[in-house]
Amino acid sequence: MIKGIMFDKDGTLMDFNTTQHHILTSVLLDLRENYNISDQVINTVEQALGYLPEKLTSESLLQHSTTTKIVEAMIQAKSNCAPDSKEDLLSNASELFDLYNDHATGESVPYVLLPGVKDLFDYLDGKNYELGIATADTYEATIAGLEKTGLSTFFDYLGTDNSAKEPKPSPFMAITFCKQVNISMSELLVVGDSENDMLFAENAGAHFIGMSTHPADAAIIRRKGHKVVEIITEIIDLFKL
């Protein structure tokens, strides 16, 4: 019997490309215009992160990486391109993390719910399920997205890049959530759109259902024997919620 549900955020509850492409576009523009980062370095960073002017590539590092890992990749890309330049922002992980996080929580960031998400939470409201988030985003960006989409009041636990000791696929966030709400791992359902989410659930010993957001990941999830749904409300009947 399912008593708790943990959701990935981007690609599961909210549109990934719309939000993350906007954030990275804003960060890169800021670096170019206000921190005097050269076009050569910016272009190298774009390639490393899988950034295109109109979208993120299907292999983009942003698909599965924490903000910490994204910042590390940006610094490494800059180092590969301009190893003798050590004084700019792309040499300071802490300051770059803060800059990225500031853009991720900006007023202009478009957070868009995926089809069926509002209907699912309207259905779950009042049914006494324990609900949690397990995301690679920061706590601040997660709060911003949940508040903008009207979901902030539903969750008992937020596992994020800078609030959890270990990112997915480590089971740390699932273990912490289950302890906090006093349920067993066999009573937990994880809902996610990536292979990383699947591994997170498997490492925790929880139930898992995949979303079809990313076809390549969905194919991997199916090959591992898990079901994949097109619309998130399908989990209601599949798990008799």
pLDDT confidence bin for 91, thresholds 50/70/90: confident
Which strands form 188-192's sheet, in the order they lie side by side? 157-159, 130-134, 4-7, 188-192, 207-211, 228-229
Q: Taking 70 as the threshold, does the pLDDT of residue 86 lie above it?
A: no
Q: What pLDDT score was predicted for residue 85?
A: 65
Judged by average pLDDT, the poorest of 82-86, 88-92, 95-99, 198-202 is 82-86
Of all residues in the chain, the percent with pLDDT exceeding 70 is: 98
Return the CATH class of domain 4-16+112-238.
Answer: alpha beta
Asked if 59 and 195 touch (Cβ cutoff 8 Å), the reply is no
Across the chain, mean pLDDT equals: 94
pLDDT tens-digit series, residues 28-70:
999 999 998 889 999 999 999 999 999 999 889 998 899 999 9
CB atoms within 10 A of CB 32: 14
Distance (Å, whole) CA 186 – CA 124: 19
- Model pLDDT, residue 58: 86
Alpha helices in 35-155 (DSSP H): 39-49, 67-81, 93-104, 117-124, 139-149
Is pLDDT above 90 for 78? no
- The confidence score (pLDDT) of residue 65 equals 92
Identify the pLDDT of residue 23: 97
State the average pLDDT over residues 136-149. 96
- 53 preceded by a cis bond (ω within 30 of 0): no
- Confidence category of residue 187, pLDDT binned at 50, 70, 90: very high
- One DSSP character per residue, 208-221 reads EEEESSSHHHHHHH
Model pLDDT, residue 229? 98
Q: 């295109």: which residue's tokens?
A: 52
Q: What size, in residues, is the chain?
A: 241
Does residue 113 register a pLDDT over 70?
yes
pLDDT of residue 84: 65
Predicted confidence at residue 126, as pLDDT, reads: 86
Q: What is the pLDDT of residue 79?
A: 87
Domain ranges of the chain: 4-16+112-238, 17-104
* Residue 83 pLDDT exceeds 80: no
Mean pLDDT score, 127-148: 96
What are the pLDDT digits (tens) for 20-35?
999 999 999 999 999 9
Q: Is the pTM of this model over 0.85?
A: yes
